[in-house]
Amino acid sequence: MTRLTTLCSVIAAGLVFVLLVAAPSNIQSNDEALVVKLEKGNWVSRMNTETGETQRIYHSDKWWTHSISVSPGNRYIAFIEETKSECTRNGLYVVPPQRSLVILDCSGKVVCRVDNKDVMRYVWSPDGEKLAFLTFKPCECDYQYKCPSGAWVFDMNTSEVIKIREKAREISWAVHDSCIYFEGFKFDPVTGETEKTSYYGINFSPDGRYYLSISSMEYPRLYVSASNEEITDRVKSQFGYVPRSWVPEEKHHLHAVKTDYEPRPEDTVSYDKPQIMVEVPREIIQQTFFIYDVETNSIVKEWTEKPGE
C-alpha cells in the first residue's frame, strides 16, 4: 500500500496550503515516448506508440480535467482537476471552483496532489524533477486570471514546496538557463534570487536566443532575446501566423501546422434570423506539419497526415 504523508505550510492571510504526497516508488527515467491524452468521462489514457491502442490508467471524479502534460524524461504525468462552480448574475461566486494539480507515475498511480489551492497553471523544470505552479484566489466569475495568490516550486524528490513570488499571472521554466520567468522578472532556483527583466514575453526557445510573447488578447509575437527586436513578420510571411510552440531539444525551431478542410457547401451558412449565423462543422481532409528554423528563416522538415492514418 502506498504511504501518504501530509505537508502543511501556513501562508499569508492565515490560509493553509496542503500537499498530499505519495512517496515515489523508485520510478526510473523512461526512454520510450510517453503519449497520454484526456478522454471523455475524465479518463487519463496512455497510448501505445507502436499499435496506436490506448489504455485507461486513471479516472477523475471531478467536473473537468484539463492541461495534461508529460514531464521531461517521461517519468510523470500532470494535469489539473477542477470542481464545478456556481455564480450569481452579478458575477460573484456562490460556489467557487477548486482546481487541483495531480501528478501520476507512468502506470497511473498518484504520486502527488496539490489540493486546497486554486492551481491555474503549471510548468515542468527542464530535468522533469520539479514543478512550478501559479495559484489564484476566487474573486469574480470568469476564466480570467484576475486574483493571483502566489507562485510555487515543488520538488518531486524531496517533497519540498517553496513560495517564490507573491503574485504572478504568467510563468515559464526556461531550458537555456534553468530559470523561472514571470512578467518582468526571473527567479533562479539555485541561488534563490529574483531580478528584473526587460523582455516582452517569457516563452523562450530552448537555446534562449528567441522568445514568444503569447497573449489571449492578441496573436503571438516573436522577438530576438539579445536585442528585443521584433521579427514577427518573418514568420508570418511563411505561414500567415506565428506558431505558439517550440520544438523540444531543438535550438530555435518552431512547430507549425496547416489544416485543410473539405469544401464548404453554399447552403451551410444560414442568415434566416437577424445577426445569427449557423455553421456546419467541416471534416478535416489533411494536416501538414512544419518544423521552422527561426535563425535561417526556413522550413527544415515537412510532412502530411490524414485522419485515420
pLDDT score of 28: 38
Lowest mean pLDDT among 67-76, 133-142, 147-156, 178-187: 133-142
pLDDT, residue 253, reads 94
pTM, to two decimals = 0.76
Burial of 137 (0-12, 13-18, 19+ CB in 10 A): middle
pLDDT at site 92: 74
What is d(CA 303, CA 119) in angstroms, rounded to the nearest whole number?
Answer: 37
> Does residue 234 carry a pLDDT above 60?
yes
Return the percent helix, strand and coil in the chain, to nearest 5.
5, 50, 50
The pLDDT of residue 197 is 96
Supply the pLDDT for residue 32: 60
CA-wise closest residue to 173 among 197, 203, 200: 203
The Cα–Cα gap between 105 and 24 comes to 8
Q: What's the confidence (pLDDT) of residue 307? A: 75
- Between 23 and 176, the higher pLDDT residue: 176
Report the percentage of the chain scoring pLDDT > 90.
42
Mean pLDDT on 210-218: 83
User: Does 262 have pLDDT greater than 60?
Assistant: yes
pLDDT in tens, 77-98: 999 998 888 887 777 778 877 8
pLDDT at 109 over 90: yes
Distance CA 74, CA 28 (A): 9
C-alpha cell at 216: 489571449
Residues 54 and 47 sit within 8 Å (Cβ to Cβ) = yes
CATH fold for the domain made of 1-197: Methylamine Dehydrogenase; Chain H (2.130.10)
Q: How confident is the model at residue 293 (pLDDT cuts 50, 70, 90)?
A: very high
Sheet holding 298-305, edge to edge: 245-246, 253-261, 284-293, 298-305
Weakest-pLDDT range from 170-184, 255-269, 279-293: 255-269
Phi/psi of residue 232, each to 5°? -55, -45
Strand partners, 142: none
pLDDT at 60 over 50: yes
Q: How far is Cα 296 from Cα 235, in angstroms, rounded to an integer?
A: 11
- Spatial separation of the C-alpha atoms in residues 92 and 40, rounded to whole Å: 29
pLDDT tens by residue, 264-277: 665 444 555 444 44
54, HSE (Cβ side, Cα atoms, 13 Å): 12
pLDDT score at 24:
33
Question: Any idea where the domains of the chain sit in the sequence?
Answer: 1-197, 206-309
Taking all residues of the chain, what is their mean pLDDT, rounded to a whole number?
80
**What was the pLDDT predicted at 286?**
87
**Would you state the pLDDT for residue 140?**
63
- pLDDT tens, position by position, 132-159: 999 987 776 665 556 888 999 999 888 8
